[in-house]
């Protein structure tokens, strides 16, 4: 390892990229260290090492768990693509199609996918998503149907369209069949939807026990949507016996997995002390997170905490801000509070 370190320090690009890989993965020889990994990747990338450029793009993606800089990620993926890493074109297209400020350019996203030289069902599915976002419905649906013959994500996306009636006529039977097909290929999001549709009897004969069992499997496999849905069933006592402790358990799992909608009921559970001990500060934490994401009920709850001074310093001005925002999103506000704050 010392020889590799010396070679990297002497400017050997290959040694720099290998040393970065050691720091990225960790192991018996070296402790994982993302800061040092980024340092050596940058050294190699600035000398034109394409794979190091691509790795820096991955490191800077918002969901990488390392950094959160989409512009930096886009920059390195562009360099990697220009230096022959075709997979980088797919990453670029994914950034562009998602819409992020100046990176919101769906035409360039389509161009990047075409330049990738990849004609797989996965890429066709991405192109279909972009075409639908651009309003080119017929082409998008046609491409999505074509890619959904083989690709689980495309199956899931097409199933959602049928379930919601977006761009196509609502058809729960088609939706269920596509979700089931994708679930059999290992897509846990689809498995959660299969469970949900079995519970509700949408597109399939209702089977609550099988549906709950399937939903639990998806939740245990780590699907945030499935975890949230399961939490809501236990919270409401719908199709299962009401159990606030299990509800809180699954809401926390969902929230920690990125399902920010779980902030609404988590804040409520801590505020009212159901399933957990009453804790206004914890309620404030979850509701403030939900409020920042635009959830009306979280904004309402946060406004009440400021209004009454529960877990937070009392501030009618801040309460008015959040309650007014919640009201604009359709959340009812008690009349006496509206009158006292003039909102």
SS3 229: helix
Its pTM stands at 0.70
CA dist 335 and 299 (Å) reads 17
In angstroms, how far is the first alpha carbon of the chain from the final one?
66
Q: pLDDT truncated to tens, each residue of the chain (343 aa)? A: 578 788 888 888 888 888 888 888 776 667 888 888 899 999 999 888 889 999 999 988 876 667 777 778 877 887 887 777 878 877 877 776 665 554 467 787 788 777 777 777 777 877 887 788 778 888 889 888 888 888 888 899 899 999 999 888 999 999 999 999 999 998 899 999 999 999 999 999 999 999 999 999 999 998 989 999 999 999 999 999 999 999 999 999 999 988 889 999 999 999 999 999 999 999 999 999 999 989 999 999 999 999 999 999 999 999 999 999 999 999 999 999 999 999 9
CA dist 227 and 234 (Å) reads 11
CA dist 129 and 167 (Å) reads 12
pLDDT of 102 reads 46
pLDDT of 177 reads 97
pLDDT of 135 reads 82
DSSP letters spanning 111-152: HHHHHTT--SHHHHHHHHHHHHHHT-HHHHHHHHHHHTTT-H
Burial bucket for residue 302 (CB in 10 Å: 0-12, 13-18, 19+) = buried
Four-residue CA torsion sign, 114, 115, 121, 122: negative
């Amino acid at each position: 390892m010392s020889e590799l370190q010396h070679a990297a320090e002497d400017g050997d690009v290959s040694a720099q990229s290998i040393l970065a890989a050691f720091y990225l993965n960790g192991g018996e020889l070296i402790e994982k260290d993302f800061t040092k990994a980024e340092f050596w990747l940058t050294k190699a990338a600035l000398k034109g090492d394409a794979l190091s450029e691509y790795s820096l793009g991955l490191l800077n993606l918002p969901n990488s768990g390392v950094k959160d800089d989409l512009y930096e990620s886009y920059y390195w993926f562009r360099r990697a693509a220009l230096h022959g890493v075709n997979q980088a074109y797919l990453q670029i297209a994914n950034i562009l199609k998602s819409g992020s400020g100046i990176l919101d350019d769906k035409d360039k996203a389509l161009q990047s996918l075409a330049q990738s030289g990849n004609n797989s069902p996965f890429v066709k599915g991405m192109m279909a998503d972009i075409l639908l976002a651009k309003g080119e419905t017929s082409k998008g649906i046609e491409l999505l149907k074509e890619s959904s013959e083989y690709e689980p994500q495309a199956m899931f996306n097409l199933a959602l369209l049928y379930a919601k009636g977006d761009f196509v006529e609502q058809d729960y039977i088609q939706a269920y069949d596509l979700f089931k097909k994708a679930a059999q290929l290992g897509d846990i999001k689809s498995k959660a939807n299969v469970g949900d549709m079995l519970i509700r009897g949408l597109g399939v004969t209702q089977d609550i026990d099988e549906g709950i069992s399937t939903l639990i499997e998806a939740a245990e496999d780590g699907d945030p949507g499935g975890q949230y849905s399961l939490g809501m069933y236990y919270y409401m006592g719908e199709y299962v016996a009401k159990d606030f402790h299990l509800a809180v358990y699954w809401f926390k799992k969902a929230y920690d997995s990125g399902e920010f909608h779980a902030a609404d009921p988590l804040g409520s559970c801590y505020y009212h002390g159901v399933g957990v001990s009453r804790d206004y500060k914890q309620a404030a934490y979850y509701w403030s997170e939900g409020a920042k994401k635009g959830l009306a009920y979280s904004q309402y709850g946060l406004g009440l905490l400021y209004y009454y001074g529960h877990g937070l310093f009392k501030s009618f001005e801040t309460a008015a801000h959040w309650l007014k925002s919640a009201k604009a999103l359709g959340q009812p506000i008690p009349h006496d509070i509206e009158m006292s704050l003039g909102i």
